[in-house]
Structure 1
Amino acid sequence: MPNEAIAKPKIAISACLMGAEVRFNGGHKQSPLCSRTLVEYFDFVPVCPEVAIGLGVPREPIRLVGNPARPDAVGTVKRDLDVTQPLVDYGQQMAAELDDICGYIFMQKSPSCGLERVKVYDHNGVPQDGGGRGVYAQAFCERHPDLPVEEDGRLNDPVLRENFLTRVFAYAAWQPLRRRGLTRRDLIEFHSRYKYLLMAHNPEQYKALGNMLGNMGNMGNMGKADPAELGQRYFSALMAALKKCATRRTHTNVLQHLSGYLKRAIDADDKQEVQHLIGQYRLGIVPLVVPLTLLKHHLRQHPDPYLAQQVYLQPHPENLSLRNAI
């Protein structure tokens, strides 16, 4: 499949998740998933913003205080320790330096790195409802709004893990096109490859993005549409669409579309077996990999050029086995 030809994508990661002893207490939060499994498929770039701005190991913990939308990062013991601006500055600096990464895995609940529901206290020391985002993570993500980001704990959920890594590989596939200068043909071909993946994640955006590129082809717009500008709008919408997790219902819809290409190529018994396994998947009896493996078997026997290029069939390396658990 197309994405397997891409070099190892780079993913930035909170350094403690890779086993670095950089936490406030001198410990780490090593993630076996990242440090043992995913390390075979990605080049990880470890970052610890708190150490980078000069806080020692071990150190006084910091916490978020004030407005949950824009909290301050201050010391839990010495209240005059305020590292908000240094964390913001470092987030912006790293956002500029790490311009070749394709994803970021952040340490959950961290006042510097947490992505959501990090405790934010009012000035009387009472936790506020809902929480907020770590100061460094907020500054970084504002500069890279389309970048796939996730917290380590959420990656234990097989659906969220598959979704995040699908987005990482899509992001990686886009970068060479962006760097060399997008053409209209690049846009059309890229979208063509991602059609069924989009259909599985977000059927509404699948149609909307098709219309966006379809309008580019109108003769009246040909001279006006700037591929680079349109490409950025398209890619932002694509990444937002892929962030929505595919469901059994939407996967089933795509599986039925794929099976439609085989209706004249395989016999009645094979068709019945395909439909049986798609039905079992829809009911939650078997994982996605089961009907998909059978469809891919028949498609190898009866190749179709359009389907052969579809990222949906293999959006990430097969050995990661991400679809065995969804």
Structure 2
Amino acid sequence: MEHHPVVLTEKIAIGISMCAMGCPVRYNGKAIDVLTVLGRERQDFIWCPVCPECLAGLGVTRDPIHLTSGCGDDVWTGEAGIRNRGGKVVTEAVIEGCKDSLKALQRCNTKAFVYMDGSPSCGVYRTTLKNTRRGNPPGVFGSLLLKEGYFLIPSSDLQSPLKWWDWRRRLLAFHWFANLQLSGLQELYDAWYRLKFLCQELDNTWAREMGRTLATLSKEDFASFEPEFRLQVLNLLRRPSTPAKITNSLWKHYSHYRKSRGKRVEEINSPDFKRNVTTIAKELLKMERTAVEDDFLFGASPVIYRDQRRLEAIEKRKTEE
């Protein structure tokens, strides 16, 4: 049986640090709009901007804050605190601002967040932008989002067409699989077939071992196996790939497309062809469009978003041809 791509027609809600969406709410009243570079693609998502420091009542402009005696994890356990530049303790206010921000994200039904790294509140792997120091990561809000299992995307990666493509395709797969109801082994096998090529790209050793494990399962194993399987796959989908892995995967699946469908896509090049990340991203998008139009499972990007009108236009063209 030939497997087909998963096409989502409902927009995914994504949380985002408010200052990364162009809102001038940083401590110094500045901001950066990382969504501008996405062009029309920004309309494919519902964006939910929040700012824990504003919801903490700290205002704009304000004294910058910093973590004391530990990281964001330690703030939640009471082992660390938060002070502003003037030495004022603002720990409780920031905690409440983080809680309110999470509630807003939950009301918007988000499970992904684009964060501003370097922030003592939203940062995940950095809580300062001074020189090359990382500060005390994660930040207070970053710590909360990690505990809540959010799919976390650094805002700076939206500036790279290839990095954004990688985050987007993994986010779509993450969203689909996190919400997929599985009632038995056959449904689990079908889901794995769609995701396994992407998983192999991200961690081939783990994916091959998982494939062998799945081959030995019995129906009685499903109930105990499924929760851990789902958790491991979702955790893997959070991990970025590399340009080399992505271009090799593109060529692998395009070669399969040529062999199985007897068609060519002239814009797609082999891995040893020298080009920049913008060109690679365009090739990947072209292969995604081809997959939807030709009902082909592009294993590097198995879950694709298309709004209903675009799908209807594709079906109309097929009928006319």
Q: Normalization by structure 1: what TM-score?
A: 0.72
Tell me if structure 2 keeps the 8 A contact 1:3–1:311: no
What is aligned with 1:225? Answer: 222
**Residue 105 (str. 1) matches residue 114 (str. 2):** yes
**Residue 135 (str. 1) matches residue 130 (str. 2):** no
Output the amino acid matched with 1:282. Answer: D
**Residue 259 (str. 1) matches residue 264 (str. 2):** no
Shift of the alpha carbon at 1:282?
A: 2.9
Q: Could you say what secondary structure the match of 2:208 adopts?
A: helix
Output the amino acid matched with 2:17. Answer: S
- Identify the match of residue 65 of structure 1 among 60, 68, 88: 68
What is aligned with 2:165? Answer: 162
Output the amino acid matched with 1:207. Answer: R
Distance 1:38 1:256, change over 3 A: closer
What is aligned with 1:282? Answer: 272
Shift of the alpha carbon at 1:17?
A: 2.1
What is aligned with 1:195? Answer: 196
- Structure 1 residues 134-143 or 43-52, which shifts more? 134-143
Output the CA distance in 2 between the equivalents of 1:128 and 1:278: 37
Shift of the alpha carbon at 1:5?
A: 2.8
Distance 1:278 1:25, change over 3 A: closer
Tell me if structure 2 keeps the 8 A contact 1:148–1:167: no
Output the amino acid matched with 1:143. Answer: E
Shift of the alpha carbon at 1:48?
A: 0.9
What is aligned with 1:176? Answer: 179
| Matched residues, number | 291
What is aligned with 2:89? Answer: 81
Shift of the alpha carbon at 1:153?
A: 1.6
What is aligned with 2:319? Answer: none
Shift of the alpha carbon at 1:14?
A: 0.9
Q: Could you say what secondary structure the match of 1:101 adopts?
A: coil
Output the CA distance in 2 between the equivalents of 1:291 and 1:159: 9
What is aligned with 1:52? Answer: 55
Shift of the alpha carbon at 1:313?
A: 5.1
Q: Could you say what secondary structure the match of 1:223 adopts?
A: helix
Output the CA distance in 2 between the equivalents of 1:263 and 1:35: 33
**Residue 185 (str. 1) matches residue 186 (str. 2):** yes
Distance 1:15 1:183, change over 3 A: farther
Which sections of structure 1, spanning at least 5 residues, go unmatched? 122-126, 320-326
Output the CA distance in 2 between the equivalents of 1:43 and 1:211: 39
Distance 1:195 1:284, change over 3 A: farther
Fraction of identical pairs, as percent: 19
- More relative contact order, 1 or 2 (CA 8 Å, 6+ apart): 2
Output the amino acid matched with 1:248. Answer: A
What is aligned with 1:322? Answer: none
Output the amino acid matched with 2:236. Answer: A
Tell me if structure 2 keeps the 8 A contact 1:202–1:244: no
Tell me if structure 2 keeps the 8 A contact 1:108–1:151: yes
Q: Could you say what secondary structure the match of 2:222 adopts?
A: coil
Shift of the alpha carbon at 1:3?
A: 4.2
